[in-house]
Structure 1
């Protein structure tokens, strides 16, 4: 019963087989291998973006931070939700890689910024000219850190506000596949057709050993990204091992199939919790994460039986009255089984 994070899941066999296959013989380094050419062309096809530039990095932090560094100068700010991934989980990497750019934090239900909130924040920024931080870029997390999904219409409304102010838009898609499966749209509709300039296309949280793609729909930033990737220490010499993972991920829509499994498990879990007495869902379950609260006694039983998940927020305790509601975050992965979910529901339901 592992629900702490999709990061804790194993690697699908298709990915391991691809790594074994690519390990034969010699190959050019630094992304010049044939596998990277295949990855680039496949992503261009998937996103219906023949001019897009595609680069691989080993971590989501690198993908987000280097991408934002290409969009936002040191004297400007990135507009994002206060519960966005770049704010909560990157240890100030965006500020570091941009050379000191600020993050302007916005509110909104379920960690989704609103067009109105973004418009107000933009209008408030740089009112005193040189004395203020300047308007830099917009970043949205899809799926959000609270399990919600921006639809293509949501994305388009945010991008319209950004474009009116002359700002580029970055999408943090560490769980992009999960969001896409829920939205039921094409990758292009979720991104550049809605106005997104740069996508961090996640792989690690959806099963890969460790690789993310940065998709630049505006290729004018391609050379700058390459330089920043090298300078930041994220250009792999044995790059074929990144490319092989991403190629296998894209082959036969494996990336979507993995996300569908994770999302289906989360829905089963969410529906089961909602049906329990004295339990409540805290946010909509629109991807592969469930945020819920149930009596402390149920938490104790589940953890005694080996359930692994995080109390959310983490400063809560299992000591105290058993009937008090305690909240938690539960994340499903590509290999979460119905049995895992049902055992967990049985444990917390008493």
Structure 2
């Protein structure tokens, strides 16, 4: 069992000024977006840890609005790209244009050159466009012609996809899905929240104005503070056990799931769990990680990385079923 007696107490090193600013970020976004605190929290975890986020939910749940509002509150350069079947890689990263007046080729940079890039309905574009994101997401750079251009930091890709309309879509390749730190399922609002949305939108003169709270320097400072959050060796080993349990469930008393698993999660999952758990602890105003922090993000970090076979689909087995079973069975020792 996990021994909580060895945990340090919260220290002033957590920078209460930044904690207060983060609370203000939630409040400012709440002026425009109602009831999506969970999604905002996951987006902040991605931003503070340098991890890209994939959002999945039915239309009308304010995914795009939340991201655009958050960019204003964080004072970051924001670009939205609507992915369509006729989108070209050059529409995303940019291209070379011939200047007749000076008889030279000039670079016209694409919308990827921003801090927050919203790839709206990412699964509506063909593979060649989706793959154009790979270098940017992984290397934080883009190649146009023969020249490589670094992207402005912080750089984050926030992608959305619609789960209910699959006609004319292109499923994301596993290699690209794995590059997203978390896949967040955005659910319907509660009744009280939807009532508030209806009242706001019924007033056509309503305009939600937000104020910038954090700067780029603040974001990098928060990243440094999250790096200093402590995680015990016991919990680090617990993360590894969770990851290995997705690959060989039978070794963890989960033999009933072994026949359904085609591939478990990649090593990127271990890194993402480690970083995300630290960020959760920091947002909870602690400078140490608890087992609950790891369990809190396990679903969002693991669900899109586990590849189940057709037999699982036929039997109605979901990746979340396996994750829930792993969290119940794998001990903390």
TM value normalised by structure 2? 0.34
